[in-house]
Structure 1
Amino acid sequence: MNSALIRQLTVAALKAGTTDAGDRVYTPRDWPTHSADYPALMVQTPFDHKHSMGRNAPQFVSVTTVRITGRVEAFDTADAECGALLAEEALERLRLQVEQAVINSYELTRQTQQYKEVRSTIDVDSGGESHIGQLLYEIDMEYYQGPEDFYPVASTPLESLTFRHSEPDGTAQTGFDADLTT
């Protein structure tokens, strides 16, 4: 287990969940977005913290912060200047959907020890023609890392196998050759 796998599992959970973003869940990607992208979710793992479990083998209780940035866009209606309210409501709905998709993910729950902490903020900007809303959702996921995570076994792939049976002189040699590359 590592932060890259946590990120990939989070993206899979968000895509499998029923968020307003649908399949517009990105990682990694350039962060600038435009109207055609909304609503969208962008996932990254900016913080990884390891707490040693002792002096002997490399064993850690690791905490990875998964940051999910959600973006929405809303316009004022013909009847009222309610774009900010619509953006805020869309962000609140998206926050709940993200939370449910991630926390209810079987794979994330199975491969982590706990969701240590959750933080979220909502911001709406009305500086342009529309109201752009942004959700910043951070969840700290705790998991174990041990020697198997730090000492991968380096090996040479087995490509072929030749087996010959020793026979007395003057008799036919028995055995077989196997090509394992196909």
Structure 2
Amino acid sequence: MLSEKEIIAYNVKEYMKNGESEYFGYSVGGKTYGINNDRFGIKCTEYFDILLARYVLGTESLQEIEEIILDEFGVEIATFEEQFKKERRKKDFSDVSDDVVCEFLSKRTFFIYKLETIFRNRLQNEQFLNIFDKLESRLIPVLAQMEETGIKIDKKYFSEFHNELEEK
């Protein structure tokens, strides 16, 4: 499946540090994948988010990457939980061989690479590319920051609102 062309990843960290290239991924704003990663010095100013593109195209439900791959390519790949028998939020590869981790991640990378072209073309054909590029994608850093630092809420207000809803 991954033999379509050989991909050589040499010094990827240095390549990603310059911030001059466009990156694409699945849920790039989230903590897990992070569009900017201070720990590794990764900077990203241009990105194409598969999950966001799917949302702009009108998909009603948020889907995991495995479901999107199945929908688009008819290929079933194991989820994190199925592959590693762990909760997704506890991503810990310390007890897994590098080969297994590499295969798990490379499958997703291969399909994300293919999905970028498919979704970019659909956005263009359905005249949503401008909305995606100029509006939705520009919100990713804000949403990522909110996810990382959290937001303050008025607990008293929401408690009163909750009680009001309960009464109805």
TM > 0.5 fold call: no
TM range (shorter): under 0.3
> Could you say which structure has the larger radius of gyration?
1
Whichever structure has more strand as a proportion of its residues is: 1
TM-score normalised according to structure 1 size: 0.25
